[in-house]
Amino acid sequence: MTSNAPVIWWIRRDLRLADNPALTAAVTSGAPVIPLYILDAQDNALGAAPKFRLGLGLEKLAETLSARGSRLIFRRGDAQEVLRQVIDETGAGSVVWSRLYDPEAIARDTAIKEDLKASGIAVKSHGGRLLFEPWTVETKAGGMFKVYTPFWKAVRDRQPADLLPEPGKLSAPVSWPVSDRVTDWQMGAAMRRGADIVRAHCNVGEQAALDRLDGFLEEAVARYKDRRDYPAEDATSNLSENLAWGEISPHRMWHLGQRAMAGSGKGAEHFLKEVVWREFAYHLMYHSPQILTENWRPEWDGFGWSSEITPDVEAWQRGQTGYDFVDAAMREMYVTGRMHNRSRMIVASFLTKHLMVHWKVGMDWFADCLVDWDPAANAMGWQWTAGSGPDAAPFFRIYNPEGQIDKFDADRRYIRRWIAEGQRTPPQSASSFFDAAPLSWGLSPDQMRARPLIDLKAGRERALEAYGQHRSAG
């Protein structure tokens, strides 16, 4: 190790320069900085849309870094081995990264930290992905929170760390290690026909995220509280894809949101409460990682959900249930890589209750289709809707997808935006679903609209009966 040994900034879900404690630590050390991304088995296993979106984010970050005289080095392989190789090649003396909180990442990172430290490499992990580290928020009795409202009350008056400005120049190492080209990795390969269509809806990169937050706080935040449940309206921040990849920090949303509270009052406060739902999801995942794979409430084990990919499940995935709200939402996701929160609840309720399909089947489909895929929020959202999660909606709250149109899309703007069939001149959004859908699905806008898969009343009764039987058996 030389006295001016480089520091490796190992980039994972923190694709930004500003308000990035790991990067700031690297730059302020005064050492040359080597930004490194490693496509390891964990990232290689991402679903089609998240992997595609990660690729876009990495390309953008690479551009940003090269405009500042630095470089983003791309390598693939086992993260521990690659880090060791790059350390050997460059004489790097330290590694920094931003923490992740899912069990697989924690296990990998812990092993790497121990291994590198044993070899005399300085390793430091930093926060930055969450407002509050999950282990710093606890109940009065010293345990984890299982209910959102007390969690919110516990954090709402805390001050998360101040914002860090974009650090100064990243000084370059004497020579750069070799790098793959991210475009050669074909991160969007599994998107099949959908890549270009979804791409047009993505808002990629740190600057785009900052602009979006500014625009939202200037305008839509004032109507957020009243209109955030109406999927045809642009009343939410749409920042989840940027948060998912770390193109913006939750701290920025918090501090700017706090400032906005002085002007738009309730809207901004409600927005911050939603940002804290994300924190709550991470709190749950950190303290009870089984939320990702098992019923959070074990009393749901053995409930009569089916886990098979039946034709009904395929119809749900393909926006062909015959129920407009459900199909509009599923198509919205296929075209944009995102879905409105109200729609997520409706399609999840329809799958787990009307169709009696296991929430894991839906969670996995979302993990393949969402550009804002987030392990914690996705698992919490599915278990919340299914009834098996902490602080969940009761199982007997079964959304009626027809009634939800009357309440949240009474003028059917959302439905028209996404369902082409039956419209003489469907909007581009609705038609583009048929361009994105794989040819093997055999769909065309000229076909008759799908007939309802199931009678809503009968489906509801079947679900409630199964629920009653399960409870009395339990």
Is 372 part of any known ligand binding site? Answer: yes
350 annotated as belonging to a binding site for a ligand: no
Judged by CB, which is closer to ligand FAD: 97, or 245? Answer: 245
Instruction: Confirm whether residue 224 is marked as ligand binding.
Output: yes
Report CA torsion sign: 20, 25, 31, 37: negative
Residue 48 to residue 337: CA distance in whole angstroms: 10
Q: Is 349 annotated as a binding residue?
A: no
275 contacts ligand FAD (rule: CB under 6 A):
yes
**Residue selected from 94, 238, 429, 432 as contacting ligand FAD according to rule CB under 6 A:** 238
What is the side-by-side strand order in the sheet with 73-76? 73-76, 33-39, 7-11, 94-98, 122-126
Position 370 contacts ligand FAD (CB under 6 A)? yes
Cβ-based neighbour number of residue 13 at 10 Å: 20
Number of residues that bind ligand FAD (CB under 6 A): 27
Tell me whether residue 296 or residue 434 sits nearer to ligand FAD (CB atom): 296
Non-local CB neighbours of 64 within 8 Å, separated by 6+ positions: 17, 205, 206, 207
SS3 232: coil
Using CB under 6 A, which residues numbered 316 to 355 contact ligand FAD?
341, 344-345, 348
- Tell me: does residue 274 bind ligand FAD (CB under 6 A): yes
Question: Which residue among 152, 176, 277, 441 contacts ligand FAD (CB under 6 A)?
Answer: 277
CA distance 125 to 213: 27
- Position 404 contacts ligand FAD (CB under 6 A): no
Nearer Cβ to ligand FAD, position 93 or 231?
231
3-state secondary structure 352-387: HHHCCECHHHHHHHHHHHCCCCCHHHHHHHHHHHHC
Sequence letter at residue 463: A
What does the chain come to in residues? 474
Shortest distance, CB of residue 3 to ligand FAD, whole angstroms? Answer: 42
Distances (CA, A) of 58 to 75, 391, 449, 456, 473: 12, 36, 40, 44, 51
- Is residue 374 within the footprint of ligand FAD (CB under 6 A)? yes
Residue nearest to ligand FAD (CB): 381
Binding-site annotation: residue ranges: 224, 236-240, 271, 372-374
Binding-site annotation: residue ranges for FAD: 224, 236-240, 271, 372-374
What residues line the site for ligand FAD (CB under 6 A)? 228, 236-240, 243-244, 274-275, 277-278, 281, 341, 344-345, 348, 366, 370, 372-374, 377-378, 381-382, 385
